[in-house]
Amino acid sequence: MIDKSALGAVGAPFELDVERGKVHEFARATASSHPAHFTGDHPVIPPTFLTTTFFWEQLVADSNPWHRVKMSPERGMHAEQEYVFHGPPPRAGTRLTCQSRIAEIYDKQGRRGGTLTFVVMVTEFRDASGKLVAEARMTGVETAQAPTESS
Amino acid sequence: MSVRWEELAPGSEPIPLMLGPLTRTDFVRYQGASGDMQPIHHDEPFARAAGYQAPLAVGMYHAGVLNTWATNWLGPENVRRTRVRWKAQAWPGDVLECGGTIARKYEENGERRVDLELVCRRRGDGQTVIEGWMTFVVPA
C-alpha cells in the first residue's frame, strides 16, 4: 500500500562516476556496437545508462526516497521511464552529482475496475560546475490486483 | 555513417532490429551491467513462487535495445530525450522486433531535431511490448 506522505521526499545527494568500462559493458548488454560507445578515452553513454545509479545510491544512506513510497512488491510495476539530456549525454570521465525526489503521486481509475496509483520519482544529474545535464523520471504503478500476464 | 537532414523523412527509417530469441543469459548480462539484481528476472524457483512459469525479461533490457535501434541510426551523442512505456511482459524464447518511425522533423533554438515514435513488438502474436518516444538533434 503506497504511503502518500512520501510525496515531496528528497534523497541525500550521491555521486555517479561515468566509467569507460561500464559504458562498454552497458552498451554491450543493450546490443549496441556503436563506435561512439567503444572508441577513445571518453565514450558517450547509451541513452538509458543512468539507470546505473543502482550501484552508486547504495553507497550513501537515504539517497533513494523510492523506499519511502512502500509500493507493494506483488502489485507494483515499472510503468514508464524517461531520460532528458540538456545537451549531449555525459561521457566517461564525468562525475555527476545525483539527487532524487518523489515528484508526483496520483490515482487513476483502471480500465478493468480498481484504482491504480502512480508514483513519479525525478532524479537530477549535475556536473562539477553544478549545471543540470540530465534528468530521469521513473514512473511506478501499483495495481489493485496482482499483475497477470496480459497475453 | 552520419545521417543527412535532407534524407530524413517518414519511410527513410532503417529496418527494425530483431532481438532474440531472448535468453536468461541476456537478462543476467543486463542485470550485471545495470545493477538491478531483482531475482524474478533470473531465479527460476523465485519466479515460479511468484506465479510465473519462467523468469520474466527485464523491461529496461529490451527498452535499452529499442534505444540502440535508434542510436545506431542517429548517433548516441545526439540523443536529447528518451521515454518508454511498458505494455506487456516478455519471456525467454520471445523474438522482439525493435523499430520506429519519424514523427516530426523541425528546428528549435537553431538546432535541427527529429522526434521518433518507437515500438517493440513480439514476433508471432504481434503484442506491443514497449511504446517509446525519442528526440535527437541532427548536426549539420
CATH number of the domain to which B112 belongs: 3.10.129.10
Is CATH 3.10.129.10 correct for A4-142?
yes
Q: Which of A22, A81, A87 is the closest to B63 by Cβ?
A: A81
Q: Which of A32, A81, A151 is the closest to B88 by Cβ?
A: A151
Query: Which has the closest alpha carbon to B51: A73, A118, A144?
Result: A73
What's the one-letter identity of residue B63? A
- Beta carbons of A74 and B82 less than 8 Å apart: no
| Interface A:B, Cβ pairs < 8 A | 122
Share of chain B above pLDDT 70, in %: 99
Query: Which has the closest alpha carbon to A123: A139, A141, A107?
Result: A139
- Beta carbons of A48 and B60 less than 8 Å apart: yes
Residue A3 CB neighbour total at 10 angstroms: 14
Q: Which residues of chain A make contact with B19, given a CB cutoff of 8 A?
A: 31
- Beta carbons of A45 and B76 less than 8 Å apart: yes
- Beta carbons of A52 and B79 less than 8 Å apart: no
Q: Distance between CA atoms of A80 and A109, rounded to whole angstroms?
A: 18
How far are the Cα atoms of A61, A65, B107, B124 from residue A11, in angstroms, in the given order? 9, 5, 37, 44
Distance between A34 CA and the closest CA of chain B, angstroms:
6
- Model confidence at B135, in pLDDT bands (50, 70, 90)? very high
* Structural domains counted in chain B: 1
Q: Which residues of chain A make contact with B61, given a CB cutoff of 8 A?
A: 29-30
pLDDT for res A147: 53
pLDDT for res A150: 46
- Beta carbons of A36 and B50 less than 8 Å apart: no
pLDDT for res A151: 35
Query: Grid coordinates 528526440 are at which residue?
Result: B135
The three cell numbers of residue A89 are 549525454
B27 in any annotated domain: no
Distance between B33 CA and the closest CA of chain A, angstroms:
5
Average pLDDT over residues B38-49: 95
Question: How distant is the alpha carbon of residue B38 from its chain centre?
Answer: 20
- Beta carbons of A30 and B77 less than 8 Å apart: no
Model ipTM?
0.97
B30 in any annotated domain: no
Domain around B10: 5-21+57-137
B45 in any annotated domain: no
pLDDT for res A1: 84
pLDDT for res B2: 76
Q: Which residue of B has its CA nearest to A48?
A: B64
B128 in any annotated domain: yes
Q: Which residues of chain A have pLDDT under 50?
A: 149-151
Distance between B3 CA and the closest CA of chain A, angstroms:
14
B69 in any annotated domain: yes
| Kind plus residue range of the DSSP H or E element containing B83 | strand B79-86
Q: Which residues of chain B make contact with A29, given a CB cutoff of 8 A?
A: 29-30, 32-34, 61, 64
Distance between B81 CA and the closest CA of chain A, angstroms:
4
pLDDT for res A148: 54
Q: What is the pLDDT of residues B82-130, one digit of tens each?
A: 999 999 999 999 999 999 999 999 999 899 999 999 999 999 999 999 9
pLDDT for res A97: 98
pTM, entire model: 0.95
B36 in any annotated domain: no
Domain boundaries, chain A: 4-142
Q: Which residues of chain A make contact with B78, given a CB cutoff of 8 A?
A: 88
- Beta carbons of A28 and B71 less than 8 Å apart: no
What's the one-letter identity of residue B49? A
Q: Are strands A95-109 and A115-126 parallel, antiparallel or unpaired?
A: antiparallel
- The 3-state DSSP class for residue B22 equals coil
